[in-house]
Amino acid sequence: MPDIPNTPDRPTTLRHLVAGEWVDGEGAEAYSTDPAHPDRAVAVYRTAGKTLLDQAVTAAQAAQPDWSAQGLIQRGLVLRRAAALLADRAEEIALLMTREEGKTLPESRAEVGASVETLYYHASRARAADGATFPSAHPEEIIRTLRRPLGTVAAITPWNFPLQIPAWKIAPALLWGNAVIWKPASDTVAVAAAFARVLADAGVPAGVLNLLLAPGSVGAALVAREEIAGVTFTGSVTVGRSIQAAAVPRGAKVQMELGGHNAAIVLPDADPAAAAADLVAGAMGSTGQKCTGTRRIIAVAEAYDALVPELKSRIEALVVGDGLADGVGIGPLVSNKARQEVESAVEQALSEGAQVLARADAGPASGPASGPASGSASDGSCYYPPTLLAGHPGLTICHEEVFGPVTTLVRAADLDEAIRIANGTRFGLTAAVFTCDERAVRRCVEELDAGLVKANAPTTGSELHAPFGGLRDSSFPAPREQNGDSGAEFFTWSKTAYLRTGTPARSRS
């Protein structure tokens, strides 16, 4: 068993939620830590293994029919109660999120608030039309559609939005009558347990929601189970494709968001100061740990030279530190391993000819920035300085996703070249264009290979009532997340009924 890091407070002991009971795991002891203080444990638990997985699947299969039979409106009322409970516990969970994931407290509060709204939104969908009617050639026939739940679904969620992404997935899954087995990322297990408790306390019946705190091997075993009728996943391309290979051949539904390498095009007519503010927010917000983060800034012609001082001043003014501290705008990365990956990618870019245009101070653990990166990646620090690179489209960092506060500025001669550069990766999640030219906006909307295109706004951010998802290696061809109709389409099977009035039997005398 690993040694639990020293901590001034006793770490929370977590358990798994299986069949309505909070139970200990049968596996190795594990813990999550505070990335602002990597020597401090936030939570400790014993991992789930095959025994708990078997119990969770059995419990979900047994509980799902009764949950479905409760009806859409009653299930919506449970989600409404969950929204109210989450709102009551908002500050407690926001503090926990900052301690365990590292994002700043304002960012955590915003995520909790958005998750509350997600629950209310899907709760309200319980009173929307759940089918459609069609005319029939037969005068005494009605044709209507109806929805039936998939059954038992698996939700596998990441650490970067440990509450909001699970809410996007679990709320519609429950609303439409499914049972859920949820395996969250190991870095943010305490937030996951807090959300599972909210749902259980709101009245989600025993066995309908099961929480397994476990390594990736258990997630792989989960999606391979024949009983799992659907899998909703957010994470890496590699893991996503392995889920696809395990689930799709047996006919299970799969919904995946697999990251991005998002580009923002800036045309010369855009105001450089306004564009720079949105670009820095998109690239550096949440310490760059967003799948929708701005990885490449493509400046067209003279826009390049106008942008550089605006970007430089904003990035160098960013304050890096503990997300609980006042005035901090950029927290640590989620782990030292994550920091090493970012540092390695930047060092490779510099070796390939990139140059550092701007860099903030690195944060309290590493001291002032100097050289390719500040501090030593082996010192346990999770801080990395927000960095702007100048480069060219051939850099590795302009093709491989780097999950941290780093973006690369690239020059393009015209909009044609900018669109070619933007589309020059295997990803296609989000993109943005900054311009006052309506024709240029329309071209970008049509020609950029991205599932979400924004004009004069950051590549990050989306509305929960609009469909969200990517193209290419950023996704899988399936109904999108967030939007209520898309959620219904993914988490149900649609049936069509032809209903004619019967002819009564003749009476016999």
Q: Check residue 3 and give its pLDDT.
A: 54
Q: How far is CA 373 from CA 19, 259, 360, 384, in A?
A: 48, 24, 11, 8
Q: How far is CA 120 from CA 124, 172, 451, 470, 471, in A?
A: 6, 11, 25, 25, 29
Q: Check residue 370 and give its pLDDT.
A: 39
Which strand (E) or helix (H) includes residue 68? helix 50-69
Q: What is the dihedral of CA 77, 83, 89, 93, to 10 degrees?
A: 130
Which token pair is 180? 């859920």
pTM (predicted TM-score): 0.93
What whole-number distance in Å separates Cα of residue 437 and Cα of residue 417?
Answer: 17
What whole-number distance in Å separates Cα of residue 165 and Cα of residue 159?
Answer: 9
Closest CA relative to residue 143, chosen from 494, 504, 487, 505: 494
- For the chain, how many residues are written? 509
What whole-number distance in Å separates Cα of residue 280 and Cα of residue 20?
Answer: 44
Going from N- to C-terminal start, the domains of the chain cover: 12-41+49-258+476-496, 262-455
Q: What is the gyration radius of the CA atoms in the chain, in angstroms? A: 24
Which of 291, 382, 398, 444 is labelled catalytic? 291
Q: Check residue 54 and give its pLDDT.
A: 98
Q: Domain 12-41+49-258+476-496 - what CATH class?
A: alpha beta
Which token pair is 49? 């293994």
Q: Check residue 244 and give its pLDDT.
A: 95
At residue 14, the 3 state secondary structure works out as coil
What whole-number distance in Å separates Cα of residue 404 and Cα of residue 397?
Answer: 12
Q: Which residues fall within 8 angstroms of residue 208, CB to CB, at 6 or more apart?
A: 60, 63, 64, 67, 174, 179, 180
Which strand (E) or helix (H) includes residue 105? helix 105-124
At residue 22, the 3 state secondary structure works out as strand
Q: Is 501 exposed, middle or buried (0-12, 13-18, 19+ CB in 10 A)?
A: exposed
Q: Which residues fall within 8 angstroms of residue 249, CB to CB, at 6 or more apart?
A: none
Closest CA relative to residue 304, chosen from 354, 270, 327, 328: 270
Which strand (E) or helix (H) includes residue 52? helix 50-69
Which token pair is 68? 């479905």
Q: Check residue 478 and give its pLDDT.
A: 87
Q: How far is CA 27 from CA 19, 91, 472, in A?
A: 19, 32, 37
Please report the sign of the dihedral spanned by the C-alpha atoms of residue 199, residue 204, residue 205, residue 211: negative
Q: What is the pLDDT along the chain (509 residues), one digit of tens a residue?
A: 345 555 556 899 999 999 999 999 999 999 999 999 999 999 999 999 999 999 999 999 999 999 999 999 999 999 999 999 999 999 999 999 999 999 999 999 999 999 999 999 999 999 999 899 999 999 999 999 999 999 999 999 999 999 999 999 999 999 999 999 999 999 999 999 999 999 999 999 999 999 999 999 999 999 999 999 999 999 999 999 999 999 999 999 999 999 899 999 999 999 999 999 999 999 999 999 999 999 999 999 999 999 999 999 999 999 999 999 999 999 999 999 999 999 999 999 999 999 999 999 987 754 434 344 444 444 578 999 999 999 999 999 999 999 999 999 999 999 999 999 999 999 999 999 999 999 999 999 999 999 999 999 999 999 999 999 999 999 988 888 888 899 999 999 999 999 998 889 987 66
3-state SS string over 128-157? CCCCCEECCCCCCEEEEEEEEECCEEEEEC
Partnered with residue 88 across adjacent β-strands are none
Q: Is position 291 annotated as part of the catalytic site?
A: yes
CATH superfamily of 262-455: Aldehyde Dehydrogenase; Chain A, domain 2 (3.40.309.10)
Q: Check residue 368 and give its pLDDT.
A: 38
Contacts 24+ apart (CB under 8 A), 460-468: 460/281, 460/282, 460/285, 460/290, 460/292, 460/293, 460/294, 460/430, 461/292, 462/292, 464/114, 464/117, 464/118, 464/121, 464/168, 465/121, 468/168, 468/257
Q: Check residue 371 and give its pLDDT.
A: 42
Beta strand 29-34 with 37-46 is: antiparallel
Q: Check residue 509 and give its pLDDT.
A: 61
Which token pair is 315? 């990035």
Which token pair is 178? 């499914």
For residue 148, count other CB atoms closer than 10 A to its CB. 12
Please report the DSSP string for 424-459 in residue order.
-SSEESEEEEE-S-HHHHHHHHHHS--SEEEESS-S
